[in-house]
Structure 1
Amino acid sequence: MNAPSNADGHGDRPSAPKAAESATAIIRVPLSVRWGDLDAFNHVNNAAFLDYVQEARLHWMTSLDGAWLDDAQMPVVAAAHVNFRQQLTWPANIVVELRIERVGRSSVTIAHRITASSDATRLYADGDTVLVWIDRKSGQSIALPAAIRAACQSPLASAGTTSK
């Protein structure tokens, strides 16, 4: 649900990230809001925000050199967090920005921001998603694929990356 906002535009939610955080984006994907994304309240349904983030994440991962998905391994979403900052309606053009927030042994946390394509300071939502790579047969976590680790450690991504 897109919660109502108080005078600062954020209600009881944490304050929005500073504009500088978008400077470390690993990818910016422009998308159009579809009429079918609307709910009964005539604004974009909360689940559609995760679809937008997934679309951007797939654009990033399919642009990488090397294998990150095959018959033996695959990523799964272990956690997804979205802060709804303001209502998004149709028609609209948005940009989904991703940045690497944390790299672990078998997981990567990817932060996201959804903004208006015409105004990057107009923030509709932000948050993060944790992806864990698993062995397809056992379902157990495995080390991050080399392609993912390399992409997360590139100069573009490293500004927002911490490793544990």
Structure 2
Amino acid sequence: MSRDLFSLDIEVRWRDLDAFNHVNNASYLGYIEEARVRWFKSLSENWAGESAAPILAAINVNYRRPIGWPETVRITLFAERLGNKSVTLGHRLVSASEPDILFADGNTVLVWINRDGQSVGLPDTVRSACAE
């Protein structure tokens, strides 16, 4: 797999900075989450439906370089693994103006569950988007 699925540019906000004037490590997770949710929404308005929704089972972030301010970060998602009930999405965070500057990379594992907490099959929209 490993084909780019979605990219999103996010401007670093002043409040994202820590005491050392670079983006706090927790803010990276928010950037990745925002890209993931917007990708789901681009596939279907009902991506988190009444019957099932994705949960985050695992996340791995390799912090490669601090992000300063001002900066616009480009988050790119790609499919690493497609299972029956889960998908592993890779992510890269780079400078939008200088894409050779890698801030972070890694992946997330998402599992779809129903309202009873039982895992269910991946939605067809997610499966087909990752398999293309």
Deviation per residue, 1:57-81 (Å, 9 max, x gap): 1111111147432111010000011
Q: 4+ runs of 1 displaced by more than 6 Å?
A: none
Say which of 94, 100, 115 aligns to 1:121.
Answer: 100
Structure 1 position 28 matched with structure 2 position 25: no
Number of equivalenced pairs: 131
C-alpha distance in structure 2 between counterparts of 1:41 and 1:141, whole Å: 41
> 2:82 maps to what in 1?
103
Bigger Cα Rg: 1
C-alpha distance in structure 2 between counterparts of 1:143 and 1:28, whole Å: 25
Normalising by structure 2, we get a TM-score of: 0.94
Deviation per residue, 1:3-36 (Å, 9 max, x gap): xxxxxxxxxxxxxxxxxx7xx3111111100000
Cα–Cα, structure 1 residues 93 and 117, in superposed 2: closer, same or farther, change >3 Å? same
Which segments of 5 or more consecutive residues in structure 1 lack a partner in the other structure? 1-20, 155-164
CA RMSD of aligned residues (A): 1.3
Normalising by structure 1, we get a TM-score of: 0.76
C-alpha distance in structure 2 between counterparts of 1:53 and 1:112, whole Å: 7
> 1:83 maps to what in 2?
62
Say which of 6, 23, 33 aligns to 1:54.
Answer: 33
Which has the larger share of strand? Answer: 2
Structure 1 position 143 matched with structure 2 position 88: no
Which segments of 5 or more consecutive residues in structure 2 lack a partner in the other structure? none
> 1:112 maps to what in 2?
91
